[in-house]
């Protein structure tokens, strides 16, 4: 398993270490999902957990996302803290009913806590095709009662997962699978929880604000470094959680720079960028020198073909040129 001491930790390692830490700390935390036990999870995040914690706390299930999620809801109501793994976020649509009509609603109906954490690898750029590459945050961001966490760094993945498991609300924890083995953070890995709903200003700037999350953080930072060579100062804000969203950090940045770009890899139509742009327009309108611009995927399913996938999801040149256009217009 990925929980032994290391010099550096990948994003995947960080998720595994956080899970292991919480299971050691609280015997009420248990894992449930398809292939989380003997197989070690679709991406091997839970490799070795079955041997360490046994089948009562690492529960392999049939291919039945609806039933698994409903079972987790019931377990939470009797004092347990289930962590559900969906093999791919695409498959969460099968569990839409228990998530929307049970997990998100129960506390507001009864006052009971509903501490269910749902882990789901999401996103494109792995040439996995239209049914294994979806970004699902906007499906659930419209539903009151669910928190949505989308860490963009290995360190944040650990701290935010710990905070999610300890939270008494249902949390959708979306892990960008493209980042799993591409990102590292040096040891020691902090296991302190990171507050849900607190954004991070990754780079400070004065000419334009880029609001993003998950893999978009690294695309934005790369673009900021390139544009700095042209004398354009870019402030990059990593939301870290999209629900709740740290809107005040965003507004403060936009009031300083007077320009804003929102970046994500989900499809543009009704994506999170639309909501973020609307809030900026409402709360910081008189500070804006340009309309808020969005960079997002095209409104089409993600193709399997590498050239076609690249044509659908935001690419570095598009990101740089869009930010440049907003910053200099």
Domain ranges of the chain: 8-186, 200-328
Q: What is the pLDDT of residue 306?
A: 97
Place of tokens 């804003």: 260
- Separation in Å, CA 261 to CA 39, 45, 91, 124: 41, 34, 30, 21
Residues whose CB is less than 8 angstroms from the CB of residue 29 and which lie 6 or more positions away in sequence, other chains included: 22, 23, 57, 80, 81, 82, 83, 165
Q: For residue 213, give the nearest of 140, 100, 135 by alpha carbon.
A: 135
Q: How do strand 8-10 and strand 184-186 relate by DSSP bridges?
A: antiparallel
At residue 111, the 3 state secondary structure works out as coil
- Token couple for 164: 């999610």
| Orientation angle between helical segments 11-25 and 154-166, nearest 10 degrees | 30
Domain 200-328, CATH number (from 3.90.1150.10, 3.40.50.920, 3.20.20.140, 3.40.50.2000): 3.40.50.920
Q: What is the pLDDT of residue 4?
A: 60
Cα dihedral sign for 53, 56, 57, 63?
A: positive
CA separation for the pair 309, 133 (Å, rounded): 10
Q: Tens-of-pLDDT digits for all 329 residues of the chain?
A: 554 678 999 999 999 999 999 999 999 999 999 999 999 999 999 999 999 999 999 999 999 999 999 999 999 999 999 999 999 999 999 999 999 999 999 999 999 999 999 999 999 999 999 999 999 999 999 999 999 999 999 999 999 999 999 999 999 999 999 999 999 999 999 999 999 999 999 999 999 999 999 999 999 999 999 999 999 999 999 999 999 999 999 999 999 999 999 999 999 999 999 999 999 999 999 999 999 999 999 999 999 999 999 999 999 999 999 999 999 98
Q: How do strand 8-10 and strand 171-176 relate by DSSP bridges?
A: unpaired
Q: What is the pLDDT of residue 6?
A: 84
Q: Write out the CATH class of domain 8-186.
A: alpha beta
Q: What stretches of 79-215 show up as alpha helix (H) in DSSP? A: 96-98, 106-110, 137-141, 154-166
- Separation in Å, CA 53 to CA 29, 31, 95, 140: 11, 10, 26, 32
CA separation for the pair 43, 61 (Å, rounded): 16
**174 touches 214 (CB < 8 A):** yes
Measured from the Cβ of residue 179, the count of other Cβ atoms closer than 10 Å reads 23
- Token couple for 112: 């009971």
Q: Which residues are catalytic?
A: 65, 132
């Amino acid at each position: 398993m990925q929980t032994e001491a290391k010099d550096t930790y990948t994003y995947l390692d960080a998720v595994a270490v956080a899970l292991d830490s919480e299971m050691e700390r609280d015997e009420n935390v248990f894992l449930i999902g398809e292939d989380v036990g003997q197989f070690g999870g679709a991406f091997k995040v839970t490799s070795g957990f079955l041997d360490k914690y046994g089948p009562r706390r690492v529960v392999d299930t049939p291919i039945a996302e609806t039933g698994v999620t409903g079972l987790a809801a019931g377990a939470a109501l009797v004092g347990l803290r289930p962590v559900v793994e969906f093999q791919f976020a695409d498959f969460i649509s099968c569990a839409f009913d228990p998530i929307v009509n049970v997990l998100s609603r129960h506390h507001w109906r009864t006052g009971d806590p509903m501490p269910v954490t749902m882990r789901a690898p999401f996103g494109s750029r792995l040439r996995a095709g239209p049914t294994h590459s979806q970004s699902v945050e906007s499906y659930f961001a419209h539903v009151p009662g669910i928190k949505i966490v989308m860490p963009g760094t290995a360190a944040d993945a650990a701290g935010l997962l710990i905070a999610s498991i300890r939270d008494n609300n249902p949390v959708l924890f979306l892990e960008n699978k493209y980042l799993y083995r591409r990102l590292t953070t040096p040891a020691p890995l902090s296991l302190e929880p990171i507050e849900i709903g607190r954004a991070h200003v990754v780079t400070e700037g004065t000419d334009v604000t880029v609001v993003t999350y998950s893999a978009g953080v690294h695309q934005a930072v790369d673009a900021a470094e390139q544009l700095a060579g042209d004398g354009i100062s870019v402030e990059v804000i990593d939301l870290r959680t999209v629900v709740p969203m740290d809107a005040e950090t965003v507004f403060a940045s936009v009031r300083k720079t007077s320009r804003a770009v929102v970046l994500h890899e989900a499809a543009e139509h009704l994506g999170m960028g639309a909501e973020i742009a609307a809030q900026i327009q409402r709360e910081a309108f008189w500070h804006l020198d340009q309309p808020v611009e969005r960079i997002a995927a095209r409104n089409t399913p993600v193709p399997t073909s590498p050239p076609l996938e690249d044509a659908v999801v935001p690419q570095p040149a598009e990101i740089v040129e869009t930010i440049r256009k907003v910053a200099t217009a």
